[in-house]
């Protein structure tokens, strides 16, 4: 029946651990599907290693048929950096949330980017801390109510949402690949992931993809409202697209596509 009524799971997914552990409506599943497809299409299952952070991303610790390590909060980038330095032939993927990448592990993101570490970092932006119950994150939108901003985030007190890819683009050289995708465009996201991985395969440099994602559980939104957040509201703060593409990756038939936009 598979392939007729529903599209097949990526080959690199571990079937035994499906259905996955994320909440209904969570964006992680879509992002991880796009990642699985990118791994399949590039034929990386035998050499890719997946590192996941603390927070909801840790639920992916047994998600793939890939060697996987679940690390500490914010520390997935250094674990993958250490692995890549020791085993350059592996394709090392650091998967984290916005708290892990932009708050507690920000120094690792900044320095790995500056050193042009040849890993691929993927950061899921759902505007708050999901696993701990919905506190303010660096990415929380102005006015957004969270458990630690119950009256809405006041930019006077706590600033504006972190512009992660913009920051990474600013501190990296021309060998880096930087993009922001969205779970609303999984086809485009898959292509972004493929380029981010290709940049590592080529041994060129640091790759970073932020993913606009959804957390209906903590946003307390229904399906319609959730998609309005993802498709309309979040892109007003977080511009979707490629910010930095090394010359060698341009025009190689992996141009951004959005044929799967719902």
Residues in touch with another protein (CB under 8 A): 12, 14, 45-47, 49, 54, 58, 61-62, 64-72, 75, 78-87, 89-90, 107-108, 110-111
Q: What is the closest distance, in whole angstroms, from the C-beta atom of residue 85 to another protein in the complex?
A: 5
Q: What is the closest distance, in whole angstroms, from the C-beta atom of residue 122 to another protein in the complex?
A: 17
Give the number of other Cβ atoms within 10 Å of residue 60's Cβ: 25
Task: Give 1 or 86: the residue with its C-beta nearer to another protein.
Answer: 86
Q: What is the closest distance, in whole angstroms, from the C-beta atom of residue 227 to another protein in the complex?
A: 31
Question: Distance between CA atoms of 56 and 23, rounded to whole angstroms?
Answer: 10
Task: Give 70 or 163: the residue with its C-beta nearer to another protein.
Answer: 70
Q: What is the closest distance, in whole angstroms, from the C-beta atom of residue 129 to another protein in the complex?
A: 16
Task: Give 63 or 238: the residue with its C-beta nearer to another protein.
Answer: 63
Task: Give 90 or 122: the residue with its C-beta nearer to another protein.
Answer: 90
Task: Give 85 or 239: the residue with its C-beta nearer to another protein.
Answer: 85
Q: What is the closest distance, in whole angstroms, from the C-beta atom of residue 90 to another protein in the complex?
A: 5
């Amino acid at each position: 029946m598979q392939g007729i009524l529903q599209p097949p799971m990526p080959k690199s997914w571990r079937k035994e651990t499906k259905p996955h552990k994320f909440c209904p409506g969570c964006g992680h599943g879509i992002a991880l599907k796009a990642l699985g497809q990118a791994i399949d299409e590039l034929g990386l299952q035998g050499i890719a290693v997946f590192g996941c952070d603390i927070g909801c991303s840790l639920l992916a610790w047994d998600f793939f048929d890939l060697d996987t390590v679940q690390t500490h909060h914010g520390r997935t980038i250094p674990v993958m950096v250490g692995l890549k330095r020791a085993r350059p032939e592996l394709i090392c993927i650091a998967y984290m949330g916005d708290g892990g990448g932009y708050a507690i592990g920000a120094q690792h993101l900044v320095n790995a980017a500056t050193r042009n570490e040849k890993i691929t970092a993927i950061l899921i932006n759902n505007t708050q801390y999901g696993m701990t119950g919905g506190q303010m994150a660096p990415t929380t939108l102005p006015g957004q109510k969270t458990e630690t901003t119950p009256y809405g985030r006041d930019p006077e007190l706590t600033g504006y949402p972190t512009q992660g890819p913009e920051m990474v683009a600013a501190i990296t050289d021309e060998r880096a690949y930087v993009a922001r995708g969205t779970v609303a465009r999984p086809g485009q996201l898959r292509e972004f992931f493929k380029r981010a991985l290709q940049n590592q395969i080529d041994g060129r440099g640091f790759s970073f993809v932020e993913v606009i994602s959804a957390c209906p559980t903590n946003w307390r939104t229904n399906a319609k409202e959730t998609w309005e957040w993802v498709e309309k509201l979040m892109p007003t703060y977080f511009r979707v697209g490629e910010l930095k593409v090394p010359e060698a990756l341009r025009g190689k038939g992996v141009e951004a596509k959005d044929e799967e936009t719902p």
